[in-house]
Amino acid sequence: MSGLDTNARKRLSFADFFRWSAVKSHALKALDQPDAPVRLALSFSVGIFCGILPFPGHTLVVTVLAFAFRLNLFAAIAGAWVNFPLIIPFTYSFAFFVGELVTGTDIPSIAWSRIVNVSYWWPLFRAYFVPMATGTTIVGTLWAVASYFVTLRIARRLRAQRLRQASKYENVRSSQRFTVSGKVYET
């Protein structure tokens, strides 16, 4: 047993995505970082926005934005992964519906017999792209703004909880840095 790391992180299993307690604990870990609550909330909301956009590579885009704007990488990636595969169909269906309403585009029905013809794909892509891009931008922006305020409130509560925990052991003023379990927190 001497070779085992007792502090090793528990690996996520596929079943963890279906348990609310696992999702909640990982989300709280993402928000319990030593950054300022405003920065954590902004990072998480940027991740939410990027996670809803209809293109692959959300994690790569969020990573680049986090480094470019000095955001919290862990919180930004956690925000991008909120839109996980089980809810993507619902998210994109709703976003497409919103985009269709806003743009007023008349969406042609798909002729499944012609789908094997490659020349059919481009007009179909053009017809569906504008409502989808518009809808995901609108829905992503609304969800990002809402998640900013929710995340800010949760991060501030976690910070206050850590401050109370630290003040039991040492005299901490509210405008200082303090340490709990090896993490340095700013208030």
Residue type, 98: V
Predicted confidence at residue 3, as pLDDT, reads 42
* Residues 27/78, Cβ–Cβ less than 8 Å: yes
Residue 58: strand, helix, or coil? helix
CA distance 98 to 107: 13
pLDDT-derived band at 23, boundaries 50, 70, 90: low
Structure-model confidence comparison of residues 112 and 91, the more confident one: 91
DSSP 109: P
Structure-model confidence comparison of residues 96 and 166, the more confident one: 96
Please say if the pLDDT value at position 186 is more than 70: no
Predicted confidence at residue 158, as pLDDT, reads 83
Helix orientation angle between 121-167 and 37-52, rounded to the nearest 10 degrees: 160
Predicted confidence at residue 2, as pLDDT, reads 41
All structural domains of the chain with their residue ranges:
20-161
pLDDT tens digit sequence for 106-152: 777 777 777 778 787 888 888 888 899 999 999 999 999 999 999 99
Helix orientation angle between 88-103 and 121-167, rounded to the nearest 10 degrees: 120
Averaged pLDDT for residues 51-65: 89
CA distance 187 to 181: 16
Predicted confidence at residue 170, as pLDDT, reads 60
CA distance 130 to 66: 27
Please say if the pLDDT value at position 7 is more than 90: no
Nearest Cα neighbor of 42 from 69, 68, 64 is: 69
pTM of the model: 0.71
Most confident of 103-107, 149-153, 158-162: 149-153
Q: Indicate the burial class of 158 (C-beta count within 10 angstroms; 0-12, 13-18, 19 or more).
A: middle
Strand partners, 184: 179
pLDDT-derived band at 20, boundaries 50, 70, 90: low
Structure-model confidence comparison of residues 1 and 58, the more confident one: 58
Please say if the pLDDT value at position 4 is more than 60: no
Average pLDDT, the chain: 79
Predicted confidence at residue 187, as pLDDT, reads 58
Nearest Cα neighbor of 141 from 48, 19, 43 is: 48
